[in-house]
Amino acid sequence: MTDLQDAFSFPDEFDIAPVRLTVDLGALVENWQEMARRSSPARTAAVVKADAYGLGIEDCGTALYEAGARDFFVAVMQEGVTLRSFAPDARIYVLSGIWPGQEPSFYEHGLVPVLASEEQLSFWMSVTAEHGDHPCALQVDTGFNRLGLPLEDAIAFADDVSRPASFSPVLVLSHLHSGDTSSSPLNRQQLEAFRKLAQAYDGIELSLAASAGTLLGPEFHFDLTRPGIAVYGGEALNGVPNPMKPVALAEARIIQIREAKKGETVSYGGTYQLTRDSRLAVVSAGYADGYLRSLSGTGVPLRQTVAEGAHGFVAGRKVPVVGRITMDLTIFDVTDIPSSEIRAGDYVELFGRNIPLDDAARAGGTIGYELLTSLGLRYERRYLYPGD
């Protein structure tokens, strides 16, 4: 033990962190199991792209693998290489496909490229001709105009006599662009297009539904569903109560509680003027931590259309953000909380159990996906494991 260690006691870093994030892996697993129940008899994959939606691919991927997930989707090859260490016998699909120079990693780590263009198809066939057969997936555009072969080209490719006999994808997939709106007739249009595709690829597994598509019902499920945001506790369908459990709890520590007089202004630009004598809690989170500037109580363009900014939760009450959120700091009005119930060093919930993720996102004019994947590097993280 060093002299410094003798002189000081060192508390748990989580207990004193300026910003901290609790990830409930038990809730994550329960959400995935609920999506698997709704998907049955189709299999249910786990989407862990973007560092498991900002919550940590290592811990989230391990928990989902141990819960029984054996099909995973990542966005880029590097994510697949990382995941392989925690999911040794899973099938890992890489949604961005493959680029020249990446072939050794795909073969070494058993990654499955999702081919989405004629260029990728041509390149992949040359790779397998040189290095031997390796599984791939084929993405088809059924109306999104994002990634994927055009529908008619994909159908023609299925019967192309020049296609190498050894080339056979293990999965054909597409993606709904309006799945989050259950009443949209465009979902039915894409479903019918995908059914045409299914006839051309008889005997090959099919996947159309992500989180929203899974909740739309069995006819969208096919062989494999791909839930993402729902597993992480976010809303998948607009205007429908969220059946998922919250997974992430983001908190920021109060640095100072200050007194301010009626008529004084708060934060940059003086855009918020106090209408009463107030007590203000200044917390150590800002847009550098993914607590977006658009969540500000005043002084941002969004407040012209969405009147109310974000709220936090502390001492059993919701408290509003006042003034502009800055890079490292946010100010909450805690006037209505008795001074005996709150002090510097306490934590304000930014989103989690009491401030739903998507409610916070809506206050910033965005979606839960963006809040989660914008979490900065400064959060001290704690993972709660199933059974904790």
Please tell me which residue in 107, 196, 268, 318 is annotated as part of the active site: 268
193-205 residue pLDDT tens: 999 999 999 999 9
End-to-end, the C-alpha distance of the chain in Å comes to 31
The verdict on domain 248-384 having CATH code 2.30.30.100 is: no
> To the nearest 10°, the Cα dihedral for 189, 143, 52, 349?
-70
Concerning whether 262 is annotated as a catalytic residue, the answer is no
Mention every residue, 6+ apart, whose C-beta is less than 8 A from residue 347: 20, 251, 252, 253, 254, 314
**Equal fold, 41-225 vs 248-384:** no
∠37-42-46 over CA atoms, to 5°? 70
| Strand residues in 261-379 grouped as ranges (E) | 265-266, 272-273, 278-283, 311-314, 317-320, 330-333, 347-351
Domain ranges of the chain: 41-225, 248-384
What residues are designated binding site for substrate? 146, 327
Concerning whether 196 is annotated as a catalytic residue, the answer is no
SS3 assignment, position 12: coil
State in words which class domain 41-225 has. alpha beta
What residues are designated binding site? 146, 327
pLDDT of the residue at 308: 87
Mean of per-residue pLDDT scores for the chain: 95
pLDDT of the residue at 107: 97
SS3 assignment, position 302: helix
218-269 residue pLDDT tens: 999 999 999 999 999 999 999 999 999 999 999 999 999 999 999 999 999 9
Q: Which two tokens stand for residue 249?
A: 């709890």
Distance separating alpha carbons of residues 79 and 57, to the nearest angstrom? 8
Distance separating alpha carbons of residues 126 and 104, to the nearest angstrom? 14
Please tell me which residue in 49, 232, 272, 383 is annotated as part of the active site: 49
User: Looking at this protein, which amino acid is placed at residue 82?
Assistant: T
pLDDT of the residue at 6: 66
Distance separating alpha carbons of residues 221 and 42, to the nearest angstrom? 6
pTM of the model: 0.94
Distance separating alpha carbons of residues 363 and 309, to the nearest angstrom? 5
Which residues of the chain are under the pLDDT cut of 50?
Answer: none
User: Looking at this protein, which amino acid is placed at residue 375?
Assistant: L
